[in-house]
Structure 1
Amino acid sequence: MKIIAIGQFLFVLMACSVVQMISNSLYGNETDRLSLLEFKKAIRLDPQQALMSWNESTYFCSWEGVLCRMRSPHRVISLNLTNRGLVGQISPSLGNLTFLRHLHLPINSFTGEIPPSLGHLHHLQTLYLSNNSLQGMIPNLANCSNLTVLELYRNNLVGQFPEDLPHRLQRIQLSYNNLTGHIPASLSNISTLNQLLCVSNNFIGNIPDEFAMFPVLQTLYVGGNKIGGGFPEAIFNLSTLLRINIAFSDLSGKISPNLGNSLPNLELLQLDYNFFQGNIPYSLVNASNLYELDISSNNFTGAIPNSIGKLFKLSWLNLEFNELEARSKQDWGFMISLANCTELEILSIAYNHLEGRVPNSLGNLSVHLLHLFLGNNKLSGGFPSGIKNLPNLVYLGLEANQFTGVVPNWLGSLNGLQGIDFDKNKFTGFIPASFANLSQLGFLYLGSNKFSDQIPPSLGKLQMLQVLSIFDNNLHGSIPEEIFSIPSIMRIELSFNNLDGQLHADIGKAKQLTKIQLSSNKIFGEIPNTLGDCESLESIEFDSNLFSGNIPASVGLISGLKVINFSHNNLTGPIPSSLGNLSYLEQLDLSFNHLSGEIPEKGIFKNGTALRIEGNNELCGGPPDLHLRTCSIMASVSSKHKKSIILKVIIPVVSILSLIIAITIVFLSRRKLKKQSLLLPSFGIEFPKVSFNELARATESFSTSNLIGRGRFSSVYLGKLIQDNNVVAVKVFSLETRGAHKSFIAECNALRNVRHRNLVPSLTACSSIDSNGNDFKALVYKFMPQGDLHKLLYSTIDDDETSNLNLIRLAKRISIVVDVSDALEYLHHSNQGTIVHCDLKPSNILLDDNMVAHVGDFGLARFKIDPSTSLGDSNSISSLAIKGTIGYVAPECAVGGQVSTASDVYSFGVILLEIFIRRRPTDDMFQDGLTIAKYAEINFPDRILEIVDPQLQEELVLCQETPITAKEKGVHCLRSMLNIGLCCTKPTPSERISMQEAAAKLHGIKDAYLTE
């Protein structure tokens, strides 16, 4: 019996044990599942639907990114959601995944703090949270005793470097945060540490002496902090080091001559932007694995070691901005030895004290050399012939030396060149015509030399040229008209030459031109009126020439102008009043000409310190501060007499004629008079009002094959007016649709007095009857051949009709945004009264041949005629409810609020964000309260590259500009642009900036991006 009892007892005990094991297994599994679901709840946005599989119908170990261990119980050991665009916070529930070994959440948009509960994960081995927007301090991870990798770089973390870290760590990456304090000496207790990276924080003090105890450290990146003192002595004991970055610090003193002997395994050494002095250690050649050596921007002296060529693997050698010397043939021996560096791609010895001729051994350098910088030394002799043997050069800098002789014609055979800088030398002879073969050339600097003859017209073949700078030479002849047809040209600097001839009218084709300097030449004739077509211009310097005739009034249409200098010429006539409309103009010099008449009184003419008009004896009037004589009474009376004639005679006559025409139309149509009064725009004598029959002929009887657009109240047809042979867009209103007649009236009223280069030009109107005796109303516009912005943004790359999205690279998108802002600023803030567009959207933004944007469709426009009212507020313009377009309508208008300039600002902000993100505001991802504005705000500022149009991402990745990368410049520009969009899309009208402020900021951003 006892045996039976014992057996029963053992059976029961085993059964209880099994039940307990099953219970523990089920409990553990359920804990992990619920913890993951809590993590999912904290995600506000999942644009790639990475968590779609995280549902009840799928076993949690099969959820995307989740990995469980094979044996039972199936506990989560890895969570990997790298680069999924997730937005939200990291849930503390992850601390319940007690078996978790790997947590990888980098390249997302997580915000908030790192949960302290992660410090309870005893099995955790790797923690990757980099490239997010995490804040707060780094939690205590001392209990994560198995942690080997800690990556938290590119966040917004604050506080001090964690003192107590797990002793099994192999890699610590904390770069690009806001950490402060000292780098702790206690790190030396982590004997397994292989890589320590903490660049670009705010650490102070010195590198601890205790670091000499690291047994296996290979990577030490601590640059971009406020570390001072001399070269860290502790480093000399770390013979295992492969990579050192202590750049952009406050280190000084001399470097030990035994550096290369102590660190023979070095592969990368970055000491740039410090205050080191003395000679370059000769022992560096013993670090035979060095592939990158950058000691630029220090105070090193003496000669470059001749033995440097023993660094056979060197690909990057940057010695610029030091005090290095080369005066003898022996000093130049380093150039001979560099021939052994067969992988060399970057060589800069610029901004030193190298003298004499460049040895021919330059031609023995690696054929892989891409960048060669020799500028700002004391080099002399003829053009370095060895350059001919460097076929892959991308940038060649010889500026600020004493080179003489001619620039050889063979230079045009280096067809990979993108940048040439020969400024400030003594080169003579002709500019080689072979430069026309450099199809990739973007920058050509030849200023301050002694080039003679003419500017080769063949330079017009350089279709990627942005800067042409040949100032201060001996050039003569006229400026080739071909230069102005280069589509990318942004700066033309030809001052201080002997150029003559007339300035060609083709200058108006240079739509991207921001600066043109022609000072101190002998150019004569009139300034072309087409100069006003150079809509991007910021600086015009035509002083000290022989220009005659009047100052073109069209110059006053270039809204971004900051500098105008027409002084010391033979200009005559009055000063155009349009110059007073240039709100950004900072300097206007019209001195020493033969100008006459009354000085305008607005704009820059009120600023005596920014205006120079002396030497024009026939000028009069103007603001009192100018102290000019008053204009004659006769002129004043004559002016008043003309105004009186206009007011008393011309206007009444025109009114009577208009009344007669209106009565005739009413009589012919046999219809009752409408209650609304129709005021057609003043289209001018060039385009008289057209009849229904003329428009029918122009559009082939309004054929569907000519239909190019359709809206709520109208259809748009492509047409060709017979009498003028002009291609036009004919907007025919569907009068049977309720509201169409009001839309026609509104658009006519809007177009009656407005004129701006960024509004769709209206040509004429037709208010008549059709062939069936029905009312017919149409407006005729200038045809915009590039279509609308919506079509351009969302057409496929293979769509031949829109020539693909290369038309809207970053620079062009910036220009389009600035164009639209200028149009809205004019509508909101011009002296014609305030006009609110009310239906701003990409399909109402049209593009001409030169991709200049024009705002159109004023069918919902509302008016406020008092221009003195504050335009940045939300005061009502009209009590009529806006109907607009979903996605672009301001929140206050969507709920029946009143229309205001601020509602246009909101629509503009949405369009701005859409242009760079390339997602419609009605995209499926924007729901449950998420708008395109909120989406941008969530990712702003650090994650913007992950949400912008992939084409822009690719464009920035391909940038290779130095010394400040074009990618950094582009990212900064994108960040600034999206910030304006966010300022325009604030929830309440009072929070939004005005279009005046928005346009000013956008011009500043454009200026910074498109200039150096």
Structure 2
Amino acid sequence: MSLRLLYSIHFQAILLLFIVLLHINSTLAVFAGSIGNETDRQALLAFKTQISHDPENVFSSWNDSLHFCEWEGVTCGHKHRRVTILDLQSRGLVGSLSPFIGNLSFIREIVLFNNTIGGEIPDEVGRLFRLEALFLYNNSFNGQIPANLSHCSNLKFLSVGKNNLSGSIPVELTSLSKLESLSVHMNNLNGEIPPSIGNLSSLQRISAPYNVLGGHIPDSMGQLRSLTFLGLGDNKFSGMIPLSLYNLSSIVIFALANNDLGGSLPTDLFLTLPHLHWFQIYGNQFTGSIPVSLSNASELKVFSAELNNFTGKVSVNFGGLQRFLKLNIYGNNLGSGDADEMDFFQSLVNCSSFQYMGLAANQFEGTLPKALGNLSTQLKFFSISQNLIFGEIPSGICNLVNLTNLYMADNKLTGTIPSDIGNLQKVQRLYLGGNRLSGRLPITLGNLSLLNYLSIDNNKLQGTIPSSIGNCQNLLLNLSENNLTGTIPKQLFAISMLSISLNLAQNSFVGSVPSEVGNLVHLVELVLSDNKLSG
């Protein structure tokens, strides 16, 4: 036999063997795929059996007349025809999550938020090593967060907020090196944040408010160089904020409100957070002054530091904060008594989108600057009650035509109420009580048709109640402790939605109470004592 013939026979044998092996592999692949497909189908049917209420009839398509890849809410891969996404968000589903969900071995996304699915999160979810997103928030899950979710090594998004989960944040989760978002807010989680959380180098978002987490915020969180959202408010954290957190230059949202944190803020704080939009630390025990470096927070929209123990002058120049929307520092001890301590108002004139200014319950002293009337016409909320403000109400305040809430009570204001007050036609709450205002009630109060709270008690007002006040059709009214005279206008009692309280005590009203008082069917309290009424 020639060598060439020998090679030919040998080659043909190898080729035949290759074809046989290829056929076997193909058959095995089809067989394995068939088994895998049936596994997915049975897992989905098991999921369905655990749902007791389906108000939108989602599962009407989950039957044998359709391949499971065509069932509503199910997405499969093109190659293997295995389930890759289960998305039944916001369908009103009631029930529990079947442990057979752990058999969907090719699944990458489980999206079940905004339902009423309860029970425990099955441990079997930890078998889904391809899983990238687990969205279970706003359901009724209880029990603990399964520690073996740490086996889902490709997990990027873990969202289990707004449930009834308890226990601690499993330390095992800190091995999820690809995790980008951890959302566990509005549960009953307790214990401390594991210090090893600093290992999650891909983490961009931590949302854990409204739990009972406590202890100190770990310094290791300063290692999370990609972090943009830090939400730890409404917990029981104590001690000081680690200085390392102030060096996270990527931070956009910094929210630690309603804890028991203390200490002072670094003077250079806002030099190291160039992308900061939201700084929220209200309801803590912070002391010291508001850092002047706040002037450099050019991207800042919200500064919320109310209900702390800050002191001293507000020396911040807000002029460079073009996106600034909200300044809330009420309930501190701010104020210096210096003649220029209200000068920061002038810099706020440059903030064209400014909407909210809360300065109440501090020690600010002086007159309200004319610059108040030059603030953005977008301003909706202005409160400077419970301070030491004296002088007259600047007439320019009536330029702020989008105001809905104006609080200036419990100061030392004198002079009259500006007649242009009627320009504030969107105002709903107007509090001027506890001052030394005099003169007559402006007839233009009748222009404030949306007004539902009007309190000008404990002043030195004179004259009569203008009948135009009857144009305010939904009102709580307190004009007590003044020097008002004349008869009570019947138009006042024609306000059918006059509610909660009508207090005209300690004035000098005369005459009889109009019979229209019987129209006030929503009224809880009527106080007319210490007047000169008759009849």
Deviations 1:1-55 (A, max 9, x none): 8877766655443332222111111111111111111111111111122222112
Relative to the length of structure 2, the TM-score reads 0.95
Which residue number in structure 1 is paired with residue 90 of structure 2? 83
SS state at 1:58 partner: coil
Aligned: 1:389 with 2:399: yes
Q: Distance in 2 between matches of 1:47 and 1:95?
A: 25
Contact 1:66 1:78 (C-alpha < 8 Å) held by counterparts: yes
1:488 to 497, 509, 518: 497
SS of residue paired to 1:142: helix
Partner of 2:484: 475
Residue 429 of structure 1 and its aligned partner are, at CA, apart by 1.4
Residue of structure 2 in register with 1:144 after alignment: 152
Asked if 1 retains the 8 angstrom alpha-carbon contact of 2:339 and 2:366, the reply is no
- Corresponding residue of 1:693: none
Deviations 1:464-488 (A, max 9, x none): 22x0111111112222222222122
| Root mean square deviation of aligned Cα | 1.5
Q: TM-score, normalised by structure 1?
A: 0.51
Distance 1:371 1:7 in 2: 84
Matched-pair contact (CA < 8 Å) for 1:79–1:102: yes
Query: How far has the Cα of 1:149 moved from its partner?
Result: 0.6
Residue 868 of structure 1 corresponds to which residue in structure 2? Answer: none
Q: Which residue of 1 aligns with 2:234?
A: 224
Deviations 1:96-150 (A, max 9, x none): 1101001110010011001111111111111110011110000121111111011
Aligned letter for 2:202?
T
Distance 1:256 1:13 in 2: 71
Indicate yes or no: 2:48 matched with 1:44: no
Partner of 2:198: 188
Given the alignment of the two structures, is residue 273 of structure 1 paired with residue 280 of structure 2, yes or no? no
| 3-state secondary structure, aligned to 1:309 | helix
For residue 32 of structure 1, what is the aligned residue in structure 2? 40
Is the 8 Å Cα contact of residues 436 and 459 (structure 1) preserved in structure 2?
yes
Q: How many Å apart are 1:264 and its aligned residue?
A: 2.5
What corresponds to 1:97 in structure 2?
Answer: 104
CA distance in 2, matches of 1:338, 1:350: 17
Partner of 1:424: 434
Quote the Cα distance in structure 1 between the aligned partners of 2:218 and 2:128. Answer: 30
8 A Cα contact 1:205 1:227, kept in partner: yes
Q: Is the deviation greater in 508-517 or in 231-240?
A: 231-240
Q: Which residue of 1 aligns with 2:264?
A: 254
After superposition, residues 423-822 of structure 1 pair within 5 angstroms as 423-465=433-475, 467-490=476-499, 491-525=501-535
Give a deviation string over 1:478-521, Cα, whole Å, max 9, x none.
22222222122112111111112112222111111111111211
Amino acid at match of 1:470: L
SS of equivalent to 1:353: coil
Letter in structure 2 aligned against 1:484:
F
**Shift of residue 311 of structure 1?**
2.0
Shift of 1:262: 2.4
The answer (yes or no) to whether the contact 1:156–1:178 under 8 Å persists in 2 is yes
Q: Which residue of 2 aligns with 1:645?
A: none
Task: Report the Cα distance in structure 1 between the residues aligned to 2:47 and 2:496, rounded to whole angstroms.
Answer: 52
Aligned to 2:67: 59
2-structure distance, mates of 1:51, 1:329: 71
Contact 2:399 2:423 in 1 (8 A): no
2:371 matched residue in structure 1: 361
SS in 2 for 1:342: coil
Residue in structure 1 matched with residue 351 of structure 2 by the alignment: 341
Give the drift of 1:320. 0.6
Distance 1:6 1:244 in 2: 67
Q: CA deviation at 1:309?
A: 2.8
Cα 1:95–1:500 change in 2 (3 A) is same
Partner of 1:924: none
- How many residues align? The count is 523
- Alpha-carbon distance between aligned partners in 2 of 1:9 and 1:170, rounded to the nearest angstrom: 49
State yes or no: 1:212 paired with 2:222. Answer: yes
Q: In 2, are the aligned partners of 1:309 and 1:334 still within 8 Å (CA)?
A: no
* Structure 2 gap ranges (5+): 1-8
Task: Please give the alpha-carbon distance, in whole angstroms, between the structure 2 residues aligned to 1:207 and 1:417.
Answer: 42
User: Taking structure 1 as reference, are residues 270 and 406 closer, same or farther at Cα in structure 2, changes over 3 Å only?
Assistant: same
Question: Partner residue of 1:859?
Answer: none
* Cα deviation digits, residues 740-767 of structure 1 (max 9, x gap): xxxxxxxxxxxxxxxxxxxxxxxxxxxx
> Matches of 1:3 and 1:342 in 2, distance apart?
83
Q: Secondary structure of the equivalent of 1:192?
A: coil
Report the secondary structure of 1:118's partner residue: helix
Deviation at 1:365, TM superposition (A): 0.9
Q: How far did 1:330 drift?
A: 2.2
Counterpart Cα distance in 2 of 1:487 and 1:83:
41
Cα distance in 1 for partners of 2:381, 2:39 equals 58
Q: Give the distance between the partners of 1:515 and 1:460, measured in 2 at CA.
A: 19
Partner of 1:162: 170
* Larger helix percent: 1
The one-letter code of the counterpart of 2:238 is G
Instruction: Provide the C-alpha distance between the structure 1 equivalents of 2:110 and 2:419, rounded to a whole number of angstroms.
Output: 60
- State how far apart, in whole Å, the 1-side matches of 2:383 and 2:396 are: 14
- SS of the equivalent of 1:117 reads helix
Residue 410 of structure 1 aligns to a residue in which SS?
helix
- Structure-2 change in CA distance of 1:6 and 1:230 (3 Å): closer
Listed one character per residue, the Cα deviations across residues 237-293 of structure 1 (whole Å, up to 9, x for unaligned) are 322222111110111121111211222321111011111111111112222111100
Contact 2:87 2:112 in 1 (8 A): yes
What is the identity percentage for the equivalent residue pairs of Structure 1 and Structure 2?
38
Shift of 1:391: 1.4
Q: Specify whether residues 19 and 332 from structure 1 end up closer, same or farther in structure 2 by C-alpha distance, changes over 3 A only.
A: same
> Deviation of residue 306 (structure 1)?
4.0
Q: 1:4 to 1:245 in 2, by over 3 A?
A: closer
Conserved? CA contact 2:96–2:118, under 8 Å: yes
Q: Is 2:259–2:283's contact at 8 Å kept on the other side of the alignment? A: yes
Aligned 8 A contact 1:51 1:64 in 2: yes
Partners of 2:37 and 2:357 lie apart in 1 by 59
Query: How far apart are 1:450 and its partner, in Å?
Result: 1.2
Cα 1:3/1:370, change in 2 over 3 Å: closer
Take 1:17 and 1:356, find their aligned partners in 2: how far apart are those partners? Answer: 88
Contact kept, 8 Å, 1:306 with 1:331, in 2: the verdict is no
Once residues 400 and 375 of structure 1 are traced to their aligned partners in structure 2, the CA distance between those partners, rounded to angstroms, is: 6
Distance in 2, matches of 1:219 and 1:11, equals 57
2:4 aligns with: none
**Greater Rg by CA:** 1
Does the 8 Å contact 1:126/1:147 carry over to 2?
yes
Provide structure 1 residue ranges, at least 5 long, that are not aligned to the other structure. Answer: 526-1012
Counterpart amino acid of residue 529 in structure 2 = S
Please state how far the C-alpha of 1:221 moved relative to its aligned partner: 1.0
The C-alpha deviation readout for 1:631-664, integer Å capped at 9, x for no partner, is xxxxxxxxxxxxxxxxxxxxxxxxxxxxxxxxxx
